[in-house]
Amino acid sequence: MSRNELVAKIEALNEWESVIEEAKAEADALRDAIKAEMLERETEELTAGQYIVRWTSVISNRFDTTAFKKVMPDVYKAYTKAVSSRRFSISA
């Protein structure tokens, strides 16, 4: 791939990522509007035509690694492992 082709691909990628961000922002705004309507109606379930929208509270239990690390640093270290990954980034 030539340098010009690579630059063109990077620029196209930047444009598509911008479109994606705008679409996500629009989707978030629509989601927030639906949630606001549900709050106004004080409901966790709403039927609109063929759709059923649910916005429910969920309780989940998560392990507090920060607190565990403070209380039992040796055990934390014994069960911690290094993981390798690759990160893709483009900067101007």
What percent of the chain is predicted at pLDDT more than 90? 93
Q: What was the pLDDT predicted at 40? A: 97
Token pair 């290094």 is found at 82
Count of beta carbons in the 10 Å neighbourhood of residue 12: 10
Q: What was the pLDDT predicted at 61? A: 97
Mean pLDDT of 21-41: 97
Residue 90: pLDDT over 90: no
Supply angle C-alpha 62, 65, 69, rounded to 5: 155
In angstroms, the first-to-last Cα distance of the chain is 20
92 confidence band (pLDDT: 50, 70, 90):
confident
Chain segment 47-64, per-residue pLDDT in tens: 999 999 999 999 999 999
Assign 3-state DSSP to the chain and report helix, strand, coil percentages, each to 5.
55, 10, 35
Note whether 54 and 48 are within 8 A (CB). Answer: no
**What are the structural domain ranges in the chain?**
3-58
